[in-house]
A and B are shown apart, each in its own frame.
Chain A
Amino acid sequence: DTEVTQTPKHLVMGMTNKKSLKCEQHMGHRAMYWYKQKAKKPPELMFVYSYEKLSINESVPSRFSPECPNSSLLNLHLHALQPEDSALYLCATLGGLGYTFGSGTRLTVV
């Protein structure tokens, strides 16, 4: 299995909602990442988990809360988001052959 699977593929949520994005990998990679990508822009790093511990938080607002329950799963909990948080959220893992990205979750905040 050489894939990074993200669910859901699309998500529309209101500004008072609580939702979660999920990322799953079975490649045994020990580093997992959340990136945010706005339209026509490159991905921007949000969080890095190394061996299931948060190692980098790129000054992301607290309305985004990452969680790594085990070596295969990475979650991003969302609460009280703003319309400007609408973007493609990408999960990635790092292994011997480099970084592998999931297909992303297209998030729309209304």
Chain B
Amino acid sequence: GQQLNQSPQSMFIQEGEDVSMNCTSSSIFNTWLWYKQDPGEGPVLLIALYKAGELTSNGRLTAQFGITRKDSFLNISASIPSDVGIYFCAGSNYGGSQGNLIFGKGTKLSVKP
């Protein structure tokens, strides 16, 4: 089946530093999504990417959909303590009203004040 390789598995950074994480896949997706999950909560969508090569920003977050449709990265600039959490990439080939997400294993981000 389809699998996503997400790296790094965890990061420990100082407040104010920039963060970069990425996902690669052995197969093509037509949609890439980045989620953040806080303990005991559901994943919250950060950025959705629908076109190969697309670069999208959401505040301090920037994500890109790779040209080959097999990879994506997420950058966080000037990290703050509330950025702490687990970040998941997810790929989908949904069409119409059906389709399911394939998740990466997550990147756990810790930020030291």
User: What chain A residues lie within 8 Å of B98 (beta carbons)?
Assistant: 31, 48, 50, 55-56, 94
* A42 CB within 8 Å of chain B: yes
Secondary structure dominating the interface of A: strand
Q: What's the interface size class on B, roughly?
A: 20 to 34
Closest to A56 in B: B100
Given contacts A98-B48, A101-B43, A104-B41, contact A42 B100 (CB under 8 A): no
Task: Output the residue of A44, A55, A106 with the most chain B CB within 10 A.
Answer: A55
CB <8 Å contact, B100 and A100: no
**Cα-based distance from A43 to B44 in the complex (angstroms):** 13
Chain A interface category by residue count: 20 to 34
Instruction: Tell me the nearest residue of chain A to B35, going by C-beta.
Output: A101
Given known A-B contacts A42-B103, A42-B105, A100 and B45 have beta carbons under 8 A apart: yes
The distance from the CB of A9 to the nearest CB of chain B, in whole angstroms, is 8
In the complex, the answer to whether A48 meets B42 with C-beta atoms within 8 Å is no
Q: Which residue of A29, A41, A44, A101 is within 8 Å of B42 (Cβ)?
A: A101
Q: Using CB atoms and an 8 Å cutoff, list the residues of chain A in contact with chain B.
A: 4, 6, 29-31, 33, 40-45, 48, 50-51, 55-56, 88, 90, 92, 94, 97-104, 106
